[in-house]
Structure 1
């Protein structure tokens, strides 16, 4: 990672001082992302001033995004490999899942068939092509490409089976977030940074 990030982070030496090594900046940033500890606690471990740390952590996050980025849009979508091909950064905390989804750019690209969703493929041991779908909960509006469980209580047997199996598919999303938080424990804490820095931290973590 240091070799890939050096062109983006390396500072020039001056007459007054030598710049911090890229490896040190990366180590401090990864430690912060993994623990969520304050900048003040980091300065004693790495011998770098907290005022300096707060400046270069956003820079490192930007560099990581630039080097390792894929497709960043709005709202979180997880695939079967627990990866986030699309994420929502910066939506209002009080907004509902369905409202956030309806207002995000990914929703519009899916509606217009511009999202790059794979073509229908047969299921194992079957020759009938089946289209790919997004799986959501009851907060999302039903579409031809969006599957959601039945919401009424008096479900017949086949409806209960469908809702149960769909819920198992939705667990992938829940597990993906759990894996993300367990790996980068800064998401278990209340982040004290400004919103722009939090957006950078979130985008930096999403693909790792």
Structure 2
């Protein structure tokens, strides 16, 4: 009898092992995300186009006409096909979500509630769309290609800043990022935070003529400039800069120059201020005039930050992805300046184009101590100093 019971127990146990336990099936996507068409930010945007264009511009940093044009450019790069499993997110929402991310600086987790797109999917969409923006707008950031174009830039700069033979202003800023994995102190800067360096050359219209982003924040600021393509081309005389000319109402001949601040070396074609110690009156006037001309690049950075607040936050992406995001902001800045400058700079740019725009949470490159400066570069600066204190003087100095 006991043997029969034991056999029966073994048979029952074997049968129980063969029974498959049904697991609760996980949902493919949260139910509220399925309502993207009716409750997302894009639905509100459509309403804002009709009832409140100003608010629409505040959300996406552009009017509907400009958005539609940009959408037409990037659609071939970001459009996806529908599948049997689910419907693809349309290009218009991919672009609007990316612009909202750049404009507000929200995290993916926060942004998913207004876009009805998961945080994981947003991370992929925003990178793809930023790369597409850079590709389609690649011609919107470029330096003059001929002497005539450089001379036109110089004339515009002189009218704006009273600094003759100036071709543009150059400066750099540290963009804060989260500590990269395994980076140790590679991106650790002199302000005790982690950053990438954004270097830019700006014309008189607050447009970037050159941008370089991605150098880690630990690299000395003098080396950041030295390693840029712009520096190599300048030293190699490959920029097609015009030959030296006499200053207005003078027979003093000087080369065409770029203006910068203390982090840059004094060169024949780059002017920087005198050291701020024991200055003569003439040197103070030169520094003032140089500061007015350099203000353009400071304003350009401030405009960029005020329009794309992702840059003033700590970007919580790896350095490669953060560089793509920052570059996309720079290309959009130029695109919007050229497309509708009045609308884009509304509330920032005054009639004299010399409004002081507060710099927001971007810190400058660290001043460098140059061991050697050529006598020719010092002579160029002295010529400008003499000119600004005599025939080239202006009432405001």
Scaled by the length of structure 1, what TM-score is found?
Answer: 0.90
> Is residue 2:134 matched to residue 1:65?
yes
**Equivalent residue for 1:15?**
84
Q: CA deviation at 1:135?
A: 0.9
> Is residue 2:119 matched to residue 1:32?
no
**Residues in 2 aligned to 1:152 and 1:39: alpha-carbon distance in whole angstroms:** 45
Q: CA deviation at 1:120?
A: 5.7
Q: CA deviation at 1:195?
A: 1.1
Selected match of 1:159 from 283, 292, 295: 283
**Equivalent residue for 2:307?**
183
**Equivalent residue for 1:41?**
110
Q: CA deviation at 1:16?
A: 2.2
**Residues in 2 aligned to 1:30 and 1:8: alpha-carbon distance in whole angstroms:** 16
> Is residue 2:156 matched to residue 1:87?
no
Q: CA deviation at 1:138?
A: 2.2
**Residues in 2 aligned to 1:119 and 1:105: alpha-carbon distance in whole angstroms:** 21
**Higher RCO by CA contacts (8 Å cutoff, separation 6 or greater):** 1
Q: Secondary structure at the match of 1:165?
A: helix
Contact residue 72 and residue 87 of structure 1 kept, 8 A = no
Cα gap change, 1:38 to 1:98, in 2 (>3 Å): same
Which has the larger strand fraction?
Answer: 2
- Which stretches in structure 1 are left out of the alignment for 5+ residues? none
Superposition misfits of 4+ residues, deviation over 3 angstroms? 70-74, 116-131
Q: CA deviation at 1:15?
A: 2.4
Q: Secondary structure at the match of 2:216?
A: coil
Q: CA deviation at 1:35?
A: 0.4
Q: CA deviation at 1:126?
A: 7.4
Cα gap change, 1:156 to 1:66, in 2 (>3 Å): same
Q: CA deviation at 1:169?
A: 1.0
**Residues in 2 aligned to 1:18 and 1:123: alpha-carbon distance in whole angstroms:** 64
Contact residue 118 and residue 132 of structure 1 kept, 8 A = yes
**Residues in 2 aligned to 1:160 and 1:112: alpha-carbon distance in whole angstroms:** 32
Contact residue 98 and residue 141 of structure 1 kept, 8 A = yes
Most deviating of 176-185 and 93-102: 93-102
**Residues in 1 aligned to 2:210 and 2:322: alpha-carbon distance in whole angstroms:** 17
**Residues in 1 aligned to 2:328 and 2:311: alpha-carbon distance in whole angstroms:** 12
Q: CA deviation at 1:13?
A: 2.4
Aligned residues between the structures: 208
Scaled by the length of structure 2, what TM-score is found?
Answer: 0.49
Q: Secondary structure at the match of 2:325?
A: helix
Q: Which has the larger radius of gyration?
A: 2
**Equivalent residue for 1:169?**
293
**Residues in 1 aligned to 2:329 and 2:240: alpha-carbon distance in whole angstroms:** 23
**Residues in 1 aligned to 2:245 and 2:85: alpha-carbon distance in whole angstroms:** 63
Cα gap change, 1:126 to 1:16, in 2 (>3 Å): farther
Contact residue 255 and residue 268 of structure 2 kept, 8 A = no
CA RMSD of aligned residues (A): 2.4
**Residues in 2 aligned to 1:43 and 1:120: alpha-carbon distance in whole angstroms:** 56
Selected match of 2:267 from 135, 143, 150: 143
> Is residue 2:200 matched to residue 1:76?
yes
**Residues in 2 aligned to 1:122 and 1:10: alpha-carbon distance in whole angstroms:** 55
